[in-house]
Amino acid sequence: MSTVIRRDPRGEWIARNRLHPLHSLLQTQQARWAGPSGVLRKNPHAVGFIGPNALRRIDRSGAEQGVNVRRMAQPEAQLPLHQVLDPAFYITVVPDMVGGRLTAHDRDLLGLAHQLAGSTGAVLAVVFGEHKEATFDTAGIDRLLVLDGHEYEGYAPEQRVQALQALESQLRPQHWLFPDSRDGGAELGRRLAARLGERPATRVWSVKEGISVSRAGAGQQDLAHAVPRLILAAAECAEPVDETRHEVLPLALAPPALRTLARIEDKGAVAVDPAAVPMAESEFILSGGNGVKDWPLFQRAAVALGATQGASRVAVDDGFMTRDRQVGASGTWVTARVYVAIGISGAIQHLQGIGACDKVIAINLDPNCDMVKRADLSVIGDSAALLTALIAAVDAWRHGAARNAA
């Protein structure tokens, strides 16, 4: 907290002017002094300060703001900047970037990369396609290579491996780090390992003193080996970076990677029945609570949006939804990327259940409820009118998109 104390010229003027109505307030009152016999005397009236509604406030947290003392607005605490001016070597991380953002797994991996880089190496992150991440600096990325040509769009593992191979010949990084996850890291890392002829350590959960420990087989055994060049690490392999800020200097691929003839062609996503997706792993959930009065409308909205349906405990208890659809502490703990809460005020048990969700959208009548405090976007209004408008908006967008495509 900044402790720059500002002068208050007006206050000083009032303190000099005995006829000013606020004069007595601005006199410095001694709060404690030694009496004539040496006993410590205290003035109870000098404790605290007069608040805006003319009541005396006593703040014992230590953050007391006196009348005469003005402090600067508290600036955001800046973490110390970690700079690598002339990197001795590179540690390359290829994060998953699910939905264009770093996942928790990616952040753990960057923590591991810093453990391997020490103070002389630089951590280079390779990001394919467009991203929406704004916290690359605090996640621990010293150098960033963004490859966003249209040849990397969609599912193009062979083209991506080609680019990584070009990077290998350009920089020859000391280590390659991939998340061993189903979101693409496991596949890309193994493809690159096969291409480079490097034997990787997979499902690594601990790297210490030059020894990597990885799970082997079906999880019954551990395999300890000297740290190889290519590591596919499991989630929680290391603590994420949280005490430093990094430069995120852009880096370019010197000769752009050759375009390969794609032997695997991406034909796009297939519509799956959202009701068949288990709620715990659904990506997009539309959840209804006590505020929903028109349940058929709610179900139509879920179908229109292509969302999995969920419900709060009240809605389940009232019989509008089945028990397996309940979200929260006594129901399912969901991991959706986007969670839309309609008419749910946000009991603590429900908020626990959606703790892992990235984006929460709340539709509620009460602007002061806990769900609105948790949500990234809240719309205050009647759920029925909003759902009707949302269905219309999605239909209009779908038709517009279809017209543009044709």
By CB under 8 A, name the one of 338, 341, 344, 369 that touches another protein: 338
268 binds another protein (CB under 8 A): yes
Q: Name the segment binding another protein (CB under 8 A); options: 46-54, 115-123, 144-152, 344-352.
A: 344-352
By CB under 8 A, name the one of 71, 89, 170, 191 that touches another protein: 191
CB 205 within 8 A of CB 237: yes
The DSSP secondary-structure symbol of 327 reads: B
Strand 284-288 and strand 308-311: pairing? parallel
293 binds another protein (CB under 8 A): no
By CB under 8 A, name the one of 267, 296, 403, 404 that touches another protein: 267
66 binds another protein (CB under 8 A): no
317 binds another protein (CB under 8 A): no
> Which is nearest to 15 in space by CA: 56, 65, 67?
67
CB 343 within 8 A of CB 360: no
Nearer to another protein, 8 or 191 (CB): 191
- Around Cβ 1, how many Cβ atoms within 10 Å? 8
By CB under 8 A, name the one of 41, 293, 389, 399 that touches another protein: 389
> Which is nearest to 231 in space by CA: 208, 212, 216?
212
CB of 47 to another protein, least distance (A): 19
Handedness of CA 49, 50, 52, 55 (dihedral sign): positive
385 binds another protein (CB under 8 A): yes
283 binds another protein (CB under 8 A): yes
Q: Name the segment binding another protein (CB under 8 A); options: 134-142, 167-175, 248-256, 273-281.
A: 273-281
Nearer to another protein, 312 or 378 (CB): 378
CB of 157 to another protein, least distance (A): 8
Contacts of another protein in 215-244 (CB under 8 A): 215-226, 236, 242
Contacts of another protein in 99-138 (CB under 8 A): 99, 132
Contacts of another protein in 14-43 (CB under 8 A): none
Burial pattern 22-43, b for ≥16 Cβ within 10 A else e, equals eeeebeeeeeeeeeeeeeeeee
393 binds another protein (CB under 8 A): yes
Nearer to another protein, 31 or 216 (CB): 216
CB of 280 to another protein, least distance (A): 10
Q: Which amino acid does the sequence have at 343?
A: G
CB of 365 to another protein, least distance (A): 11
54 binds another protein (CB under 8 A): no
Q: Name the segment binding another protein (CB under 8 A); options: 24-32, 288-296, 323-331, 382-390.
A: 382-390
Spatial distance between the Cα atoms of 160 and 152, rounded to a whole number of angstroms: 6
Q: Name the segment binding another protein (CB under 8 A); options: 6-14, 36-44, 134-142, 210-218.
A: 210-218
- Backbone φ and ψ for 298, nearest 5 degrees, come out as -60, -45
CB of 29 to another protein, least distance (A): 26
Query: What residues form DSSP beta bridges with 81?
Result: 245
By CB under 8 A, name the one of 202, 312, 326, 332 that touches another protein: 202
Q: Name the segment binding another protein (CB under 8 A); options: 12-20, 38-46, 151-159, 312-320.
A: 151-159
H/E element holding 147?
strand 143-147
Spatial distance between the Cα atoms of 364 and 371, rounded to a whole number of angstroms: 8
Q: Which amino acid does the sequence have at 70?
A: R
Q: Name the segment binding another protein (CB under 8 A); options: 78-86, 110-118, 150-158, 164-172.
A: 150-158
Query: What residues form DSSP beta bridges with 178?
Result: 232
Residues that contact another protein, how many (by CB under 8 A): 91
- Dig out the tokens for 240 from the structure: 């994420």
Spatial distance between the Cα atoms of 345 and 194, rounded to a whole number of angstroms: 51
Q: Name the segment binding another protein (CB under 8 A); options: 23-31, 68-76, 140-148, 182-190.
A: 182-190
Nearer to another protein, 78 or 220 (CB): 220
Three-state secondary structure call for residue 25: helix
Nearer to another protein, 41 or 373 (CB): 373
Spatial distance between the Cα atoms of 331 and 311, rounded to a whole number of angstroms: 10
Q: Which residue has the tokens 């032997």?
A: 263
| Integer CA distances (angstroms), 78 to 2, 5, 84, 93, in order | 12, 20, 18, 25
Three-state secondary structure call for residue 144: strand
